[in-house]
């Protein structure tokens, strides 16, 4: 009996490059006696291995791909982290947007979200106080123009700090929205600092103007002095001397309360002495020079004693006497000394005007004291007679008291006390009128 051989037929894989398929090795059945035996069935794994053995040699070589790391997990973590961190930051930033009324609403509901704003305001307030204190030291007690420049810089920094503090929102809401935050802001302190800032800015402006005036007059004096020294004719010398003297007069007008004014007064002594020695303003007449110098000293003392009113009557009388001393010395300069007499007459005009002003202040002080004393006596008498219950008499007495208190003028020593009594008298008068 013939023996049949079983084998698998090779499959061809379409490819541009065909390679010869490997020979198929037939599987011979094991003969048995008396019958034809069928080949044994192959398992699935054996069939897959056989197909793979036939397929791989015909496939072009391709480099195996390396497994790529899975980056999706890390990307998702970064996105999640960004969302977790970004959402609160965005909420805080939105809560601190400087829109009118917006932060007030946030302060009422969730004040903790306004921590960046409060921290910024706290820093601005502390900067305001620090710079203001330094500016006050430099501007109130300057020793040089450099102090004023540095003080001006401190004021600028203080002004910038003030501009960062929205006073309206703070005054309305800070008491209930900052209970959790320990900061240095003070409502009264802020108001005081803002007022002090304006005062210092005004004083610095005056100081700077005085510095400018001093520099200008010094330049004119030095220029006139140089012109006098270089003049070749008597006319040119006379013109230069006039300019020189005019420059000294302008220097004397620098406000004495300023740093520049104090410097001007110190320099004027040497400048005038140099002028007298060079030009010979009072040449041959030392007595005239001494009289003018003494008059200036008395006038300076009188002006100093009259500062910071109100003063009592006796103080005003002393000031009047100082002005009179200065006037008496100028009056002793004879008209024959043309240049000295002309200078004395200019000073006399100023001194007599100042003395007249002090006389007015003295009269106002004396009248105020008399009126206030009379009002006090009337009040005492009215209290003593109050038990009689005469309404018409009481109203008349109160009206007299009111008239006396109203005659007390501002700038006098009893003025402030008289205002309090005047208010009480008016209230009592109105109360009686309604009864």
Task: Give which of 126, 120, 96, 104 is closest to 176, Cα–Cα.
Answer: 104
E strands of 257-391, at which residues? Answer: none
Find the radius of gyration of the CA atoms of the chain.
Answer: 52
* Nearest-5° Cα angle at 230, 227 to 234: 85
Indicate the domain borders of the chain. 91-185, 373-434
pTM score, whole prediction: 0.39
- Residues 271 and 277: their CA atoms lie apart, in Å, by 10
- Residues 247 and 99: their CA atoms lie apart, in Å, by 57
DSSP-derived 3-state class of residue 231: coil
- Residues 432 and 392: their CA atoms lie apart, in Å, by 9
User: pLDDT tens digits for the chain (435 residues)?
Assistant: 343 344 444 444 444 444 445 554 444 455 444 444 445 566 777 776 776 666 555 545 455 445 555 555 455 555 555 545 454 555 555 555 555 555 555 555 555 565 566 666 777 777 788 888 888 888 888 888 888 888 888 888 888 887 777 665 454 445 444 555 555 566 677 778 778 888 888 888 888 888 888 899 999 999 988 888 888 876 677 788 788 888 888 888 888 888 888 888 888 888 888 887 777 654 445 678 788 889 999 999 999 999 989 999 999 999 999 999 999 999 988 876 767 788 889 899 999 999 999 999 999 999 999 999 988 888 888 877 765 567 788 888 888 888 888 888 888 999 988 888 888 888 888 888 877
Please tell me the predicted confidence (pLDDT) of residue 300: 93
* Cβ(90)–Cβ(127) below 8 Å: no
Please tell me the predicted confidence (pLDDT) of residue 94: 54
**SS3 sequence of 27-90:** ECCCCECCECCCCCCCCHHHHHHHHHHHHHHHCCCCCCCCCCCCCHHHHHHHHHHHHHHHHHHH
* Cβ(293)–Cβ(273) below 8 Å: no
Residue 19, C-beta contacts closer than 8 angstroms, at least 6 positions apart: 57, 58
DSSP-derived 3-state class of residue 150: helix
* Cβ(351)–Cβ(330) below 8 Å: yes
């Amino acid at each position: 009996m013939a023996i049949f051989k079983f084998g698998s037929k090779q499959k061809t894989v379409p490819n541009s490059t065909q390679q010869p398929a490997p020979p198929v090795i037939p599987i011979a059945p094991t003969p048995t006696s008396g019958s034809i035996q069928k080949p044994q069935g192959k398992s699935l794994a054996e069939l897959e291995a056989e197909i793979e053995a036939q397929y791989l040699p015909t496939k072009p070589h391709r480099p195996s791909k390396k497994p790529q790391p899975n980056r999706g997990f890390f990307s998702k973590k970064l996105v999640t982290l960004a969302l977790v961190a970004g959402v609160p930051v965005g909420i805080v930033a939105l809560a601190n947007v400087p829109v009118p009324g917006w932060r007030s609403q946030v302060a009422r509901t969730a004040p903790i979200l306004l921590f960046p704003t409060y921290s910024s305001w706290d820093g601005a307030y502390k900067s305001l106080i620090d710079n203001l204190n330094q500016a006050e030291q430099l501007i109130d007690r300057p020793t040089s123009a450099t102090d004023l420049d540095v003080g001006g810089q401190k004021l600028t920094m203080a002004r910038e700090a003030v501009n960062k503090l929205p006073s309206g929102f703070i005054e309305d809401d800070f008491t209930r929205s900052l209970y959790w935050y320990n900061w240095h802001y003070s409502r009264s302190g802020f108001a005081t600092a803002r007022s002090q800032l304006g005062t210092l800015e005004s004083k610095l402006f005056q100081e700077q103007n005085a510095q400018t005036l001093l520099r200008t007059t010094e330049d004119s004096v030095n220029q006139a002095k140089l012109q006098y020294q270089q003049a070749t004719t008597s006319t040119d010398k006379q013109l230069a001397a006039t300019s020189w003297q005019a420059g000294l007069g302008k220097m004397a007008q620098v406000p004495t309360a300023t740093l520049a004014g104090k410097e001007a007064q110190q320099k004027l002594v040497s400048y005038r002495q140099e002028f007298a020695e060079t030009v010979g303003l009072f040449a041959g007449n030392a007595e005239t020079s001494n009289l003018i110098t003494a008059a200036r000293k008395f006038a300076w003392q009188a002006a100093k004693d009259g500062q910071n009113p109100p003063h009592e009557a006796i103080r005003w009388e002393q000031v009047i006497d100082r002005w009179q001393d200065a006037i008496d010395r100028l009056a002793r300069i004879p008209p024959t000394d043309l240049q000295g007499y002309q200078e004395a007459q200019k000073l006399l005009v100023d001194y007599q005007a100042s003395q007249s002003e002090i006389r007015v202040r003295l009269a106002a002080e004396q009248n105020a004291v008399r009126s206030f004393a009379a009002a006090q006596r009337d009040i005492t008498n009215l209290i003593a007679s109050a038990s009689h219950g005469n309404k018409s008499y009481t109203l008349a007495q109160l009206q007299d008291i009111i008239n006396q208190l109203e005659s007390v003028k501002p700038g006098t020593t009893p003025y402030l006390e008289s205002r309090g009594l005047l208010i009480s008298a008016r209230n009592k008068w109105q109360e009686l009128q309604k009864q």
